[in-house]
Structure 1
Amino acid sequence: MRTYMIPYTKYILFILCFCSALLLQAQETITVSGTLIEAETAQPVPYATVLINNAETKELITGATSNDQGVFQVQTTATNFYVEISFMGFKTKTITNFTLSNNSVNLGRIELAADNQALDEVVVTGEVSRTVFKLDKRVFNVGKDISSTGVSALEVLNNVPSVNVNIEGDVSLRGSGGVQILINGKPSVLADQSSNALGTITADMIESVEVITNPSAKYEASGTSGILNIILKKEEKQGWNGSISANTGIPDNHSIGGSINRRTEKFNLFTQFGAGYRSLPEDTEAINRNLTTGETVASIGEEFRNETFFNITLGTDYHLNEYNVFTLSGNFAYEIEDQPSETIFSLSDTDGLISRWVREETTDANNPKWQYEFNWKKTFTNNEDHTLQVTAQGRSFAKDQSSQFTDRTLQGINVDNNQRTATNFEQTDYTFKADYTNPITDAYTIEAGAQYVINDVGNDYRVQDFMNGEYVINEDLTNNFEWNQNVLGVYATGAYENDIWGVKAGLRVENTELTTLLTNTNEANAQNFTDLFPSVHTSYKISEGFSLQAGYSRRIFRPRLWDLNPFFNIRNNFNIRVGNPDLQPEFTDSYELTSIYKIGDASLSSSLYHRYTTDVVERVSTFDDNVTFSRPENIGTNATYGFETNGKYSPANWLSFNGDFNFNYFERNGSFENQNFDFDGSQWSARLGAKVDLPADFDLELTGNYQSSFETIQGEQSGFASMDLGLRKKIFKGKIVANLGIRDVFASRIQERFVNQPTFETYDYSLRGRFFTFGLSYGFGKGEAMTYSGRRR
């Protein structure tokens, strides 16, 4: 058990800083208001854009949109500014002369003249989407070139540098999955990638997208490959929006689903629902070689994971007033699983075959799931970026599973052995957090907040062997595993930023309480540790087309449930993966230097990075009586040095390319049970995608991937190359969309793992194979149709 003590004075200092921030509201606020009307008809102009710009630098300060009656109101703390008003089909109007009285500017009735030439244009001058560097993130501001096209949030994301969205809706950042998507800085069921919930958000509702590749102390220290934060406009267009869809596929991948979104002045109501059936076949092969006795155990088989599923999501945003928004949403899902498998085993030695048998499995499971979210966001009157946000989330996943295993001898020595297992699993997670942001001036900003996460897991696992005509409990494999983890984090950051450069520094303190217990044998493990997670970010704008960003952060990987759970599935009882209740977390110091630059029609992002990780979690294989046991252990350190570059290039309106290349060199140092694991190696990966706009509103997308082989602590992981293909047809300007997809066109996404040790060798092979999918969807409201995929969560 490791315990780190933090002096109470640091906690007191944090609390004082947080409380002081709440009192810093000394800036004078100027309110600019007016009413927009058409010059010819005197009718109101709703949803027009009103911008407040710096009179000297011409940079955007803040903005708003007019309501249904053409009325607008926008607040700013700046004193030297001008007003710019624009809307498609009207001439842009600039107002530089106005009267300031009692911190108020009333512009009265403002007439907008029709721009007959602009009516046929899609892009409005001065409102083209562009990327802006911030201290710890990049901000993609959505301009009229995208927001006026009626496409979905996924299409907006696909225009963001470093982000790629394939035809199936999978989002990747710098070529990696596992991206966390936030809505207005918070998790939301609308950001759920397992459905088409993002289809309820259209481009005209989005203000900007924030890209965070190296999170600051504001975010929890254990994270994902990156964060995408979608910022919605304050004044969203009202009305109905949604889609319905139906899909089929080979192997089985059938689903129907839909989403509906209704926006009014006070409420935003949304729902998403679906049902379907899918199967996930997998070909497997394994070989265990005992170099001491000369015996070999080989197996080859096919596994399935068939699933019938249902889910529904309901939620609402309630705008109490201009400064307070409440969100309440919930989701319920139910899955019925069937997992048949058949594996043929053979045991041989130097003289030939000893035995050959088949092991069959029949598994049934029911999985109920639920989650909810409550969020309150308060905006202070002096500045729309001065906010307090409070969030409470809960989720639960349960599994009631039973399995029957039957061994039947085909040749040689009789090895018949029947077993059955039963699993009663339940996991409940709760998250409570508060975040406060205060832009004290145009240049200085402070942030502070806290988060408390509760994880509560129970896994009751029972194994029975068929002996003398009846099933008898195997006490060595039966137990109830309880896992409880509580993480409390508090943070504070401060930032300075001007038009050229800026710096942001922060500190996060996290305390982790972890306990595991095997209730049958009373084996317990408890850990309590407190750690500091500092972060520093800076940026420098060299020119309009070239900027640099540098950052440092400290991260943690806490062992997951299945890393800790010491019990295993006995589907293949010669290749067993077990957990380690004594596993410690690993810590990483991450350094990154990033640049974004434009060369003609191409935009490129490149990074140099270094990561140094201690107590690295690695799976170590041991061998006993021809059985391989794989168990995670903390093995020394890993120093990684890498280069990554990604970009987008559109040589023509109908053709675009996006790609990612990542190379890293690593140095491993460590030992385990008197075995030295010091070595070094390298690995690289590449992805290249091409999108072609064909005649008759057809879109073709091809994506190629390559992952190199690399050395592991006991052997090698093989490389592979693969390709995905997608074809999409838009009908009635995108109101109906047909999708055809082929994943792993050449069935080449093969996973092979080798372990080579002095006394034994193992080989593992797995292949999911080629998948065909076809879907039709219909969209109503403002946006395009979005396919409901029903992907596994």
Structure 2
Amino acid sequence: TVDVNFNFTHQFSKPQQELSFLALISRNNRTNNFVNAIFNNDQSEINNYLKNINESANKETTVQLDYQNPIGKTQIIEFGAKQILRQVSSDYQTYKANSSNSYNAVGGNIFNYDQKVSAGYFSYTLSTPSKYSFKTGLRYEYTGVDAAFINAVKPAFNVSYGALVPSINISKKLASGNTLKLAYNRRIQRPSLQFLNPNVQAANPLNITVGNPNLNPEYTNNLELGYSTFIKNSSLGVSAFVRNTNNSIQSVRDLLGTDTIRTTFANIGKENAYGMSVYSSINLSNKLTLNGSVDSYYAVLDNNLSNISNQGFVFNVRARGSYEIGNGLSFEGFGFYRGGQVQLQGKQGGFGTYNLNLRKYINQKRGTIGLGAENFFGKSITVRNSLNTPTLSQSSTDVRNNLSFRVSFTYRIGKLTNTQTSKKKSVSNDDLKQSGEGGQESGGSAPQGGGQAPAEGQKPRLPILPKTSTSVKDSVGTKKEETNQTVIPQDTTGKQIRDGVKPDQDAKQDSVPAQVPIKKSPIKQD
């Protein structure tokens, strides 16, 4: 994986007036190579082998321009534009062999997928003498998709659509630093390549997966009410939220013939969520800080095409601690557990993840050297899933190898001034639906270790995040983090709430989903 970033910010003499240009080029090349052994019905001997080789390349280019200008001391206007170009190529071949291991090609193709997203936004912020703050904005996005197979046994497809995304955030500063906030915004999530790829993944002929190139994006309306308070050197945040998602992308399974399960994806209709979140940060001393969050919601999924629905509770728990040892040396730990996720036709099991990081500042905090370890008590994470419909029942176990050790080095070049609050900016592309069964967002990796800790006041990036409301700017524009602030209360995802503006998590997608070797009996998969 290669990432090249370019960030330029010009700060005018007028406080808070600035112009920024950001660019990101990211390329990921990957080769998946595995062999499946196909047993007979009683699993006493191997009938044949299936081998799959998938060479893929994923290139993403992003450019964006942002401008903000204060009007007096109580108003700010912001506007900008962004362009995302995604180019993906997947060369896959499937081979079959009998017990003598003599392989013959039985299928393959080259799939090219290009996506272009163009967006522009405008937002207006007003602060009143009565300590109210209002921020409203509007964003327009236009998406074009061109995809085709080199061997044109399957038709090419072209899709284009536009979306208008509004947001409004209202906050009231109360006595003693307490804050009450009400926010509404709309969010668009485009299907990622895993959901669109029409290639039939048939490494296991009794359990095939095929994407749906006709998927539409899903749209989510978010409404959230939050309250935050400070108690001495600690903070507490509580929020309640409602989410309504139309065209929700979910996995759908059916039976082909008498012994083959087919998994595909569809815009099932509606997904509603009603939940609460609690976050707390405790500074036990000048050196030791602990924070954590718990969020839970009740999900209801309804399919407009057939009489299928499902519902249930979902919860997530996060905890983080940091300790300043001294002489520029610090230690940090992070843990996360995600409970079971509700799917249209079943449930995806929960799992946990954790990491530890040791960091050393050098040259007046211009650079860091770090060591990190992730999930070092075991080599893998196990997720158990279940599927139940009137026509079939399936259970599966997903094992993810997630043990890692990291060494990192970072160094900042340039001079920072104290004339204005310095802001760190980076490209944030979170517009794609995350991978995962049943359309549930999943990931499985803890925040990147290696000692590169987040900036002060910033939480580590989390492995799994429920969909939440976003500001107009941050969904298409710049991700901002203050570098000289105290701990800020968090929302349901653990991200900072800053006057109703919520930065989104970066999202990277695999080019084409890898096939996982599965040993399978005709109907039930263990």
Is TM > 0.5 for Structure 1 vs Structure 2? yes
Q: 1:776 to 1:456 in 2, by over 3 A?
A: closer
Query: SS at the partner of 1:496?
Result: strand
Structure 1 residues 490, 700: CA separation in 2 closer, same or farther (over 3 Å shift)?
closer
Letter in 2 for 1:646: Y
Distance in 2 of aligned mates of 1:478 and 1:537: 50
The answer to which of 594-603 and 419-428 deviates more is 419-428
255, 262, 282: which is aligned to 1:649? 282
User: Which residue is equivalent to 1:581?
Assistant: 213
Do structure 1's residue 616 and structure 2's residue 280 form an aligned pair?
no
The equivalent of 2:313 in structure 1 is 682
CA contact (8 A) 2:358 2:450 kept: no
- Tell me whether 1:480 sits opposite 2:480 in the alignment: no
Is 1:458 the equivalent of 2:89?
A: yes
1:671/1:678 contact within 8 Å kept: no
Q: Which residue of 2 is the match for residue 502 of structure 1?
A: 133
Instruction: Tell me if 1:447 matches 2:82.
Output: no
- For residues 386 and 699 of structure 1, the distance between their equivalents in structure 2, rounded to whole angstroms, comes to 35
Q: What is the identity, as a one-letter code, of the residue corresponding to 2:109?
A: N
Per-residue deviation, 1:724: 4.1
Please, what TM-score do these two structures have when normalized by structure 1?
A: 0.46
Question: In the TM superposition, what is the alpha-carbon distance from 1:572 to its structure 2 partner?
Answer: 4.1
Residue 700 of structure 1: how far off its partner (Å): 7.1
In structure 2, the CA distance between the partners of 1:750 and 1:490, relative to structure 1 (3 Å rule), is same
- Is the CA contact 1:557–1:587 (under 8 Å) kept in the aligned structure 2? yes
C-alpha contact 2:169 2:182 (8 A) present in aligned 1: yes
CA contact 2:406–2:450 (8 Å) conserved in 1: no
Q: Per-residue displacement from partner, 1:196-231 (whole Å, max 9, x unpaired)?
A: xxxxxxxxxxxxxxxxxxxxxxxxxxxxxxxxxxxx
Partner of 2:339: 708
**Residues 408/689 of structure 1: CA separation in 2 closer, same or farther (3 Å cut):** same
Indicate if the aligned counterparts of 2:38 and 2:204 stay in contact, CA closer than 8 A: no
CA separation of 1:775/1:630 partners in 2, compared to 1, >3 Å: closer, same or farther? Answer: same
Relative to structure 1, the CA distance from residue 561 to residue 440 in structure 2 (aligned partners, 3 Å threshold; closer, same or farther) is: same
| 1:344-383 mapped onto 2 (5 Å cutoff) | 369-381=1-13, 383=14
Q: After superposition, what is the alpha-carbon deviation per residue over 1:245-267, rounded to whole angstroms, capped at 9, x for unaligned?
A: xxxxxxxxxxxxxxxxxxxxxxx
| TM-aligned CA distance change 1:744 to 1:552, over 3 Å | farther
1:626 maps to 2:256 = no
In the alignment, which residue of structure 2 is the partner of 1:67? none
Aligned to 1:391: 22
Q: Deviations over 1:32-64 (max 9, x none)?
A: xxxxxxxxxxxxxxxxxxxxxxxxxxxxxxxxx
The aligned amino acid for 2:245 is T
The match for 1:595 is: 227
Instruction: Report whether the alignment pairs 1:565 with 2:197.
Output: yes
Paired AA for residue 440 in structure 1: I
Shift of 1:445: 1.7
Instruction: Specify whether residues 744 and 705 from structure 1 end up closer, same or farther in structure 2 by C-alpha distance, changes over 3 A only.
Output: farther
| Residues in 2 aligned to 1:373 and 1:779: alpha-carbon distance in whole angstroms | 14
**Alpha carbons of 1:488 and 1:726: their partners in 2 closer, same or farther (altered >3 Å)?**
closer
Measured against aligned partners, the alpha-carbon deviations of 1:716-735 in whole angstroms (never above 9, x if no partner) come to 23345x57474859899999
* 8 Å contact from structure 1 (residues 433, 452) kept in 2: yes
Give 3-state SS (helix, strand or coil) of 1:563's partner: helix
| Distance in structure 2 (CA, Å) of the matches to 1:528 and 1:627 | 34
Distance apart, 1:455 and its partner CA: 1.7
CA RMSD for the aligned pairs?
Answer: 4.1
Q: Name the SS of the counterpart of 2:191 in structure 1.
A: coil
Letter in 2 for 1:648: S
**CA distance 1:654–1:494, shift in 2 (3 Å):** closer
**Distance in 2 of aligned mates of 1:572 and 1:756:** 20
Once the two structures are TM-superposed, the CA of residue 707 in structure 1 deviates from its matched residue by: 3.2
SS at match of 1:521: coil
State the Cα deviation string for residues 116-153 of structure 1 (Å, max 9, x = none). xxxxxxxxxxxxxxxxxxxxxxxxxxxxxxxxxxxxxx
Identity %: 23
**Per-residue deviation, 1:509:** 1.0
Q: Is the 8 A contact 1:508 1:532 kept in 2?
A: yes
- Corresponding residue number in structure 2 for 1:551: 183
Is this contact kept in 2: 1:723–1:746, CA < 8 A? Answer: no
CA shift, 1:556, in A, is 0.7
Closer, same or farther: CA 412–545 of 1 in aligned 2, 3 Å? closer
Could you state the TM-score of these two structures normalised by the residue count of structure 2?
A: 0.67
How far off its partner does 1:702 sit? 6.1
For the 8 Å contact 1:437–1:445, the answer to whether it is kept is yes
Closer, same or farther: CA 386–666 of 1 in aligned 2, 3 Å: same
1:78-227 equivalences in 2 (<5 Å) = none
Q: How far 1:523 sits from its partner (Å)?
A: 1.1
Cα separation, 2, equivalents of 1:736 and 1:384: 30
Q: 1:399 to 1:593 in 2, by over 3 A?
A: same
- Give the match for residue 668 of structure 1: 301
Matched AA of 1:678: S
Q: Which residue of 2 aligns with 1:491?
A: 121
The answer as to 2:176 corresponding to 1:530 is: no
Cα deviation for residue 620 of structure 1 reads 1.2
Within 1, Cα distance between the matches of 2:77 and 2:173? 22
List runs of 5+ in structure 1 lacking aligned partners. 1-368
Distance 1:400 1:759 in 2: 36
Q: How does 1:324-335 map to 2 (within 5 A)?
A: none
| Distance in 2 between residues matched to 1:770 and 1:393, nearest whole Å | 27
Matched, 1:427 2:72: no
* Mapped contact 1:552–1:592 kept (Cα < 8 A): yes
The 1:454–1:408 alpha-carbon spacing in structure 2 relative to 1, beyond 3 Å, is same
Letter in 1 for 2:19: L
Inter-CA distance 629–544: structure 2 relative to 1 (3 Å threshold): same
* Cα displacement (A) at 1:754: 0.4
Could you tell me which amino acid in structure 2 is paired with residue 527 of structure 1?
V
Distance 2:160 2:220 in 1: 19
* Superposition map of 1:302-317 within 5 A: none
Deviation of 1:780 after TM superposition, in Å, equals 12
Q: 2:106 aligned with 1:437, yes or no? A: no
Q: In structure 2, how many angstroms separate the alpha carbons of the residues matched to 1:433 and 1:770?
A: 34
Q: Which has more radius of gyration? A: 1
Alignment CA distance shift 1:420-1:494 (3 Å): same
Distance 1:430 1:691 in 2: 35
What is the distance in 1 between the residues matched to 2:190 and 2:340? Answer: 27
Q: Which residue does the alignment assign to 1:253?
A: none
Distance 2:413 2:80 in 1: 38
1:748-767 superposed matches below 5 A? 749-767=381-399
Code of the residue aligned with 1:613 in structure 2: it is T
Structure 2 CA distance for aligned equivalents of residues 780 and 478 of structure 1: 47
Quick check: 1:744–1:769 contact (8 Å CA) kept in 2? no
**Closer, same or farther in 2 for the Cα pair 1:679/1:759, shift >3 Å?**
closer
Structure 2 distance, partners of 1:373, 1:697, is: 27
Note the C-alpha offset of 1:740.
7.5
Partners of 1:432 and 1:634 lie apart in 2 by 30
**SS of equivalent residue, structure 2 residue 47:** coil
Q: 1:404 to 1:615 in 2, by over 3 A?
A: same
Q: Kindly tell me: are residues 634 and 648 of structure 1, through their superposed partners in 2, closer, same or farther at Cα, counting changes over 3 Å? A: same
3-state SS of 1:456 partner: strand
In 2: Cα distance, 1:540 partner to 1:639 partner = 28
Q: 2:418 is matched with which residue?
A: none
